[in-house]
Each structure stands twice: as structure tokens, then as C-alpha cells.
Amino acid sequence: MQGAPFKALCAALLALGAWLLYRLRLRRVTLQLRRLLQERAGERERIARTLHDTLMQSVQALLMLFEHARDRLPRDCPDRPLIDRTLEQARNALREGRDELTALRGAAAPAEDLVGAVVPLGHILGEQFGVRFDVRVEGQRRTLCRDVAQETCFIAREALQNAFRHAHANEVVLEVVYGEHAFELRVRDDGRGIREAARPGHWGLAGMRERAAAIGAHLDIGPGAGGGTVVALTVPADQAYERPARPPWWRRLAGRVPAGQP
């Protein structure tokens, strides 16, 4: 009879030890992933600064030189309209390049307000294409890890642009869920569906999946229950949310002991 409780206790201790080892391994993998993402973000910022200080500045200087040369031409010069159109295209390319550099640096994706960074684009696209845009947020808003916020912002913007530009939808909905076990972001539309709308090299699906994989998230793109398309991103809570620094367990336990007691 005494052997059975002892065996049960040993089994419980083994199970507890296995669970602690699993949690330790999970925490270590999560920290390694975050370090890799931080290094990746730093590399993106370095590349963005280099491009801004070299290529973008050189293009801006060339534009100024061409504008100066155009201003020296007679008003009735037959080549002026062609030069003006060329300069306008160059300015548009420069603006697009700056937008890409801003996205590369992640400056428009604050971790504490991901919704605020994405929603303005939805309203702009809604007005441009005459499509209703709705936003639904569930749960208490929490600060996301920097890299998770950046990659999620890129995925959300790509999904919104796809929905407005290619789905021929009447309504597009952005859903954000701050859950206890996972952070979720979904872009829904009631359009013609991804099977009909998607084309080879279109929709940017590969880039979205790569960004999701980089943050250890699951990305599902498929038909919605009532038609249309749903882009659903799920990030486990341990990887999604910034956690405040916590003192060691023995300090937390000591803090619960009333003063004056041994």
C-alpha cells in the first residue's frame, strides 16, 4: 500500500519536471526568436538609412538639375511637355521610394497602437473605391512586440489593399482581437473570392506568408463562411505581447510575506 502512493508521487514529480523543462525550452526558443527579429529590424533600419543617404538623395539632386535645365528652355519649346511628364513620373517614383523606406523602418507601426496605424489606410481606400469599411476590436488593447507590430502592420495593409483593389467587394472589415492566448487579426470582404481574384504573382501572398513565418505566426487565407475572402493572422500570446519585467519568483513570494514575520 505504501508503494502505490510513492509511485504516484514519483510520477507526479516526473510530470512536473517534464512540464517545467517544456516551459523552459519554450521560453528559450521565444527569446531566441525575439533576438533574431530584433536583429532583422536593426538590419532593415540600417539598409533604409543607407538608401536614404545615398540613392534617394542622388535622385533628388538629379531632379533638381533637370528642373533647372527645363526652366532654361523657352516656354514654347516643343519638348517641355515631355520633360514635365518625365519629371512628374520621377517625383512619383521618389515618393513611392520614400514610402517604402518608411515601411522598411517600421516607423508607421507603433507597437502600442497597431489599429491606429492600419485604420487610416482602410478609410482612404474605402473612399477611393466606394466600399464600406468597418473596424471591430475585441479585448483589452495590449502593447505588441515591436517586430510583431511591424510585420502585422505590413500584412494588414497588404490584405486591405488586396480586398479593396481586387475583390470587387461591397464591404471590407478589419477585425483585431487581443486575446489571452493569442493575438488575432482578420481582414474580411464580401467580394468575388480569392480563387477568382487571385492570379499568379498577384495579391502578394508569398510576402504575407513570409512575414507571418518570421514572427512565428499562423496565416490562413481562404474563402469566408458567407463568401468573399478572409485573411486571418494568429500570433501566440507569448510571442505577440510585450511583457513587463517581473522579479524572480522568490522575490514575488517574499513580497507576499507580511512584515514582521520570519
Our count of domains for the chain comes to 2
Helix/strand/coil for 243? coil
Residues 122 and 218 in one domain: yes
**76 and 129 inside one domain:** no
Boundary residue ending a domain (53, 81, 106): 106
Residues 78 and 94 in one domain: yes
Q: Which grid cell sits at 53? A: 543617404
Handedness of CA 106, 148, 175, 173 (dihedral sign): positive
pLDDT for the residue 248: 55
Question: Is residue 163 domain-resident?
Answer: yes
Residue 72, pLDDT score: 86
Per run of 10 residues, the mean pLDDT along the chain (length 262 residues) is 72 84 81 72 70 74 83 86 84 73 57 82 87 95 88 90 89 96 95 60 73 91 87 94 64 51 42
Residue 9 lies in a domain: yes
Same domain, 20 and 79: yes
Give yes or no: residues 71 and 137 share one domain: no
Length of the chain in terms of residues written: 262
Q: What is the pLDDT of residue 258?
A: 45
Do 166 and 211 lie in one domain? The reply is yes
Q: Are residues 80 and 177 in the same domain?
A: no
Q: Is residue 247 in some structural domain?
A: no
Domain that holds residue 90: 1-106
Same domain, 226 and 203: yes
Instruction: Examine the domain organization and report whether 87 and 179 are in the same domain.
Output: no
Residues 125 and 173 in one domain: yes
The full DSSP string for 144-196 is BPHHHHHHHHHHHHHHHHHHHHHS--SEEEEEEEE-SSEEEEEEEE-SS-HHH
Do residues 125 and 232 both lie within one domain? yes
Burial of residue 209, with CB atoms counted within 10 A of its CB: 0-12 exposed, 13-18 middle, 19 or more buried: middle
pTM greater than 0.85 (yes/no) = no
Is there a domain that residue 252 lies in?
A: no
Question: Last residue of a domain, which of 106, 141, 159?
Answer: 106
Q: Within this chain, do residues 75 and 119 fall inside the same structural domain, yes or no?
A: no
